[in-house]
């Protein structure tokens, strides 16, 4: 059965930051939502690309060759192997699409690193 998901309702279920929640799956990929503010550790994903779509707020990606800043309705794909440091000055809501095998912060461990993702 096809399930209709209202993302705003899902975002209302949590307040924690930098903790992606799985809201759906497409083949071997997770569709996640996440609230972010402040910075996440610089990291890369050797074997997986990451898709970010901004629903609310502003999202920045610091890269070796410059920075990318996204606003509502904008998206970017970080290719596998590209080091990036995500950040947001204000609370920002993202839709993220990535491999179900992905490690949250690649091989870099920090106090924000997750080993499992909650499904909501």
CA dihedral 18, 22, 23, 28 (to 10 degrees): 130
Rg (CA), the chain: 14
Global pTM?
0.90
pLDDT band with cut points at 50, 70 and 90 for residue 108: low
Quote the CA–CA distance of 84 and 98 in Å, as a whole number. 15
**Structural domain spans, the chain:** 7-119
pLDDT digits (tens, 9 = 90+) for 57-89: 999 999 999 999 999 999 999 999 999 999 999
Pick the CATH number of 7-119 from 2.60.120.10, 3.60.110.10, 3.40.640.10, 3.40.50.2300: 2.60.120.10
């Amino acid at each position: 059965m096809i399930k209709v998901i209202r993302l705003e309702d899902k975002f209302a279920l949590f307040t924690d930051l930098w903790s992606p929640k799985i809201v759906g799956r497409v083949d071997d990929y997770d569709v996640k939502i996440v609230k972010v503010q402040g910075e996440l550790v610089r990291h890369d994903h050797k074997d997986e690309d990451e898709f970010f779509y901004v629903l609310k707020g502003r999202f920045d990606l610091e890269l070796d060759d410059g920075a990318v800043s996204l606003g509502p309705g904008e998206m970017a794909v970080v290719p596998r192997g590209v080091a990036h440091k995500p950040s947001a000055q204000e609370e920002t809501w993202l839709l993220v699409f990535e491999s179900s095998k992905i490690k949250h912060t690649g091989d870099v461990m920090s106090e924000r690193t997750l080993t499992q993702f909650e499904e909501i």
